[in-house]
Amino acid sequence: MKTLTTLFRNNIREYGMLIALIAIMVFFQFQTGGILFKPVNITNLVLQNSYVITMALGMLLIIVSGWIDLSVGSVVAVVGALAGVLIVRYHLDWVVTVAICLLVGAAIGAFQGYWVAYLKIPAFIVTLAGMLIFRGLTFVLLQGESVGPFPRGFQNISSGFIPDIFNGSLNGKPFHVTTILIGVLLSIILVVVDMRARKNQQKYGFEVTPFYFSIVKNVVITAAVMGLCYLMASYKGLPNVLVLLFVLITGYAFVTSTTTIGRRIFAMGGNEKAARLSGVNTPRLLFYTFVNMGVLAALAGLIVAARLNSSTPNAGDGMELDVIAACFIGGASASGGIGTVIGAVVGAFMIGVLNNGMSIMGLGIDWQKVVKGVVLLVAVLFDVYNKNKSS
């Protein structure tokens, strides 16, 4: 049991976050009279927060690099506007439009990244300027009015579900068998990957967690995956957005934790000069970090537009704050070099659950902001307290 407590102590940040998230979910489950965990609400929760999570992935890398991006809310708007104008006014094919929009996002990121990485202007200033510029351009593009509606295909980016190839049903109601199958497949993959990693560690003679702990961990994860899939299957199945999110989160978690490029980003954020003197091309790396953010912000912009089924001048207003808050709640350090993708995702879910739960309870938007602010402060306090205790 000793290893278990040390394991917990060493990972108190991650486990603490998860426990807090679960506690909040349970709290709202009771407060809302069981609405929170209803399949339709879970689906809504995912859809509503997909853009915050998408952008949190990019923002995490920026924050780990030691900077910040205030412009993402405006980039969401300008890309959404561009999509609206191209599809509705110019009748361009939506697939082509999506490609153009992502490229524009990359260009926006490159523009801001150039100012930060090569001209050495602090990102706070550059992206504050970007926030104004791109919001302004949104109004120019849309001429101050909303543009819509979008064709079905485009809408499906955010409001579609993966098709059920089995046309399944359960107790007379439609039941999405494909979703369950994907869940099973995913669970198997997760267990196999975990076991292989464990074996690899043993092969090199490193301490591993006790076997029973591995089993418990895998059972919990499998239960969570299957539970979620079951809930989804009894509604309309897996939303397209959730599949997209899953791919993105896995990809970014992998890149940040186990590739050379991830290692270099963390080194750059921890000590830019030391990283540069170790042969890391830090300006180029920072530049691409901003390009990446631009692409993800563009993707979020498309999801927002598809979900609202129109491009509006005020889309994404204030969204940058939710995204940044998600990263900090998730344990990222404002001075750079520290943070995890999973933390940022859990942070984003935390904000999402708070938004969703409080809305269902009928709490006004005014008090919602107060609560979110307090949660952000408490989470960071928890971090600082832990850090002081361990040193």
Nearer to another protein, 5 or 391 (CB): 391
Nearest to 296 by CA among 115, 71, 87, 97: 71
Q: Is 100 exposed, middle or buried (0-12, 13-18, 19+ CB in 10 A)?
A: middle
Region of 133-141, 150-158, 265-273, 346-354 interacting with another protein (CB under 8 A): 265-273
Binding mask 332-371 for another protein (x = CB under 8 A): -----xx---------------------------------
- The verdict on 280 binding another protein (CB under 8 A) reads yes
Q: How far is the CB of 332 from another protein (least distance, A)?
A: 13
Please list, in sequence order, all residues whose beta carbon lies within 8 angstroms of the beta carbon of residue 196, skipping any fewer than 6 positions away. none
Min CB(205)–another protein separation in Å: 8
Of 264, 309, 317, 371, the one binding another protein (CB under 8 A) is: 264
Q: CB under 8 A: which stretch of 57-65, 114-122, 149-157, 263-271 binds another protein? A: 263-271
Rounded Cα gap, residues 306 and 44, in angstroms: 14
Give the residue with the Cβ less far from another protein, 94 or 266. Answer: 266
Q: Is 90 in the site for another protein (CB under 8 A)?
A: no
Of the candidates 218, 222, 271, 386, which one interacts with another protein according to CB under 8 A?
271
Given candidates 95, 277, 370, 381, which one binds another protein under the rule CB under 8 A?
A: 277
Q: How far is CA 170 from the centre of its chain?
A: 33
Phi, psi of 174 (to 5 degrees): -65, 140
Give the C-alpha separation, 298 to 99, whole Å. 10
Considering only residues 33, 279, 318, 362, which one is a binding residue for another protein as defined by CB under 8 A?
279
What residues between 128 and 167 interact with another protein by CB under 8 A? Answer: none
**Contacts by 206-211 with C-beta closer than 8 Å and gap 24+?**
209/3, 209/7, 210/3, 210/4
Tokens of 122: 């602090």
Neighbours of 61 (CB within 10 A): 31
Question: Residue 318 interacts with another protein (CB under 8 A)?
Answer: no
Rounded (5°) CA angle 318-319-321: 75
The CA distance from 182 to 238, in Å, is 9
Per DSSP, what are the bridge partners of residue 173? Answer: 170
The answer to the question of residue 267 lying near another protein (CB under 8 A) is: yes
Interface with another protein, residue 23, by CB under 8 A: no
CA distance 354 to 335: 27
Q: State which of positions 182-241 bind another protein (CB under 8 A).
A: 200-201, 203-204, 206
Tell me how many residues contact another protein (CB under 8 A). Answer: 27
- 19 lies in the site for another protein, by CB under 8 A: no
Please choose, out of 127-135, 158-166, 254-262, 358-366, the segment that lies near another protein by the rule CB under 8 A.
254-262
Helices 72-84/94-113 angle, 10° precision: 150
| 54 residue type, one letter | T
Candidates 67-75, 134-142, 175-183, 273-281; binding stretch for another protein (CB under 8 A):
273-281
| 258 scored as a contact of another protein (CB under 8 A) | yes
- 281: contact with another protein by CB under 8 A: yes
Q: Which residues bind another protein (CB under 8 A)?
A: 200-201, 203-204, 206, 258-261, 263-264, 266-267, 270-271, 273-281, 337-338, 391
